[in-house]
Amino acid sequence: MASNDVLLAIGVFVALTAAALITLLVCERVEHDQRAKAAGNVVRTVSNIFALMTSLVLGVMITSARTTFEETDRSVHALASQLIVLDLTLSEYGPEADPTREQLRLYARQVLHDAWPDRAAATTKVASSDVLFSQMSDGLRKLRPANVDQRKIRDDARTQLETLFEARWEVTGRSKDAVGGGAFVFVLAAWLIVIFSGFGYQAPMNALVVVIFVVSAALIAGTLYLVMDMEQPFRGTIRVSPAPLERALVEMAR
């Protein structure tokens, strides 16, 4: 959920800031000549290792989140196109297919509501999208073509309905909270705490250093929030637009 992502980002920000500042304050109380050179080298080496690992992993996470978002957006556009194509095919069959066309419009509205419950217009829920799909499939089976042209249109509509079903699951399957890396984000946050602690050990105590630590922690926490947010394409701040399905509904209503 988006609220959990916000809490996670705030927690990362607080942890990184505390790690850097606490280490900075503790080390400031120790005489500089008491800081063994070997210990400083170890801290610097460990910090560099974790910094490298974190940069690589964070880059992979950003790429993965962007890919998920873009693929979901393409799936929504494909679903909208297939709805329009199927509606046009049914209209070519004739008045006998009008009940199936109406079920198709109800199906499109329900899919829109399933993925964007807070954006879709409030409507009376007739049936679930799965039930509506079954009704459309039954409606196509009950059609009795009067000529070769109608038989071909009916067969095309059946094929398009199957494609529509696959496209629908490409969309609604992603509407679930598919983020499986919550625990991994905590591990990444632990790495960042080690890095910030190492920076605090090496840095002098002054206002500029404190400001840099706070701003850096805020930017990293914001980046993690955006990554988690983009991996949930239908929730949070950055969301896939429902506009393609809304335009498809307008076209189907003509």
Task: Spell out the residues 6+ positions from residue 87 whose beta carbon is closer than 8 angstroms to its own.
Answer: 101, 104, 105, 251, 252
- Number of Cβ within a 10 Å radius of residue 135: 18
Greater confidence (9 vs 190) lies with: 190
Q: How confident is the model over 177-181, as a mean pLDDT?
A: 49
Query: Which region, left, alpha or beta, applies to residue 236 given φ > 0 means left and ψ of -120 to 50 means alpha?
Result: left
Please report the pLDDT score of residue 2 as a whole number: 54
Please report the pLDDT score of residue 20 as a whole number: 74
* Contact by Cβ (8 Å): 211, 197: no
Please report the pLDDT score of residue 77 as a whole number: 92
What's the mean pLDDT when you consider all of the chain?
80
Q: Give tens-digit pLDDT for 22-34.
A: 876 776 555 454 4
Greater confidence (232 vs 44) lies with: 232
Q: Give tens-digit pLDDT for 220-238.
A: 888 888 888 887 888 778 8
Confidence of residue 125 (pLDDT cuts 50, 70, 90): low
| Range ranked top by mean pLDDT from 18-22, 88-92, 119-123, 177-181 | 88-92
